Amino acid sequence: MSSSESTSKTTSEAARRERRRSNSLLLVLAVGFLIFAAAAGALYYALRPDILRIAVGPSGSDDYKVIQAMADTFASESRTVRLLPVKTDGAVESLALLGAGKADLAVGRADLDMPAEAQTVAVVRKNFVVLWAPSGPAGKTSKRKPSPRIKEVADLAGRRVGVIGRTPVNAALLRVILSASGVEADKVVVTHFGTDQTEELARDLTIDAFMAVGPLDSKITSDAVAATARLRGEPKFLAIETSEAIALKHPRYESEEIPPSVFNADPAWPGDKVETVSVSHLIVARKSLPETTVAAFFRQLFAVRQAIARQVPGAAHITKPDVDKDTELPVHRGAAAVIDGNERTFLDRYGDYFWFGLLLLSGIGSAAAWLRRYLNRDEREETNDHRKRILAMVSSARTAGSNQELLVLQREADAIIAETLECYDDGAIEEEELAAFSLVLGLLSSAIAERRAALQPANFETVRGAASAPRG
């Protein structure tokens, strides 16, 4: 091979190597960009707030005001959970949206028909049943207080009861109370009045008793009691003495007591504690909603409850559900974990993912190493050719006839060494391959040194003979 051909081949191989190096660099940059984009996307996905759709209604109700204030407070103070109120016509529609998967949370009474997937997250408030009957207006001349005709629930048979609120669940609750008290529900006539019709309720002389269902500090209930007392005489509050039996048979209800003087202090209404039943207004969630999401919502709710109550006083009634009580509607596992202190830690939840990620990274590393070797296969083949060339050069060195031939071999070996070191720096060959290359290179160096040493006596004799030859 001539010197010009060797130089041309070396230049061509260097240019090809430079192109491969550029392509490898572009590939590394592309893979790095993809990994960065995937990591950024995963980080955004992990840190983005969960937006929960909560169905509530009707618009303007106490429930809607509480949920709207909750959504506003979450938006300003929570980085993990956001609420998107879905306005409905009432609790029945709200629960229907939850059952259809069109809402993540819903607000509704516990005695409504719940979707099969609904589970309790929080108690918005407890609604107490308040039953009372008028004593009749006091006579102008008589000093005796009038005695009410209805003194207990059993006396409601054949009477007419005015129920505040047009929702049919109040009438259904009254039928449960009547049945448990031994009164045939069909013998009691129920007339519904709107929450803004307390005056009409009090003036209707055909009504023998009244029923309200709401919080004990409800203005609607207090106004209704006051209105009936003003127009129909002092109220006689009816105790539901079978409240514990009702709660036992119907887990959606609870046995409660109305404390004395809760509706009026002087005179005291009621004058003594009154046994009754209550039904809770709940925030319910779909069972399939992730535990971590519900737990984050639950923690945030009770962290900002006081702030919500400053906007809407009714939010002060929000309480945690009782996880120890056997209720008809179970508590969602996310809320229960926070209440019991058994919430799983970050490693508990994502430990398996970390191990899987490590295995995945290991696999990606192995694949990257294979890809690098595949892309550098030409360099490795070139290195093998160089090694074979050096072995051939070893034979040529041992039969070289002059130092000039050895010098040519040495220069060619130097060029091969430079190319091989560049391939090693580029990662195209491994240390094992470089070690094999070093072995044959050592053989060449030894062969050149031995041949050069062998040629020196011959050269010396040639020079001495030329010096001693006679000159003519």
pLDDT tens readout for residues 412-449: 888 888 777 777 666 666 677 777 778 888 888 888 88
Q: Is 353 exposed, middle or buried (0-12, 13-18, 19+ CB in 10 A)?
A: exposed
Q: Is the pLDDT of residue 201 over 70?
A: yes
For residue 402, give the DSSP letter. Answer: S
- Residue 212: helix, strand or coil by DSSP? strand
Choice among 141-150, 288-297, 414-423 with the minimum mean pLDDT:
141-150
**Quick one: what percent of the chain has pLDDT higher than 90?**
53
d(CA 321, CA 281): 11
CATH fold of 119-344: D-Maltodextrin-Binding Protein; domain 2 (3.40.190)
Per-residue pLDDT of 346-371, as tens digits, reads: 555 556 666 777 777 777 777 766 76
Omega within 30 of 0 (cis) for the link into 270: yes
Span 277-281, average pLDDT:
96
Q: At 53, give phi and psi (nearest 5°).
A: -85, 125
- The residues spanned by each domain of the chain are 3-37+355-463, 119-344
Span 189-198, average pLDDT:
95
Q: Is the pLDDT of residue 205 over 70?
A: yes
Q: What is the pTM of this model?
A: 0.68
Per-residue pLDDT of 147-164, as tens digits, reads: 778 999 999 999 999 999
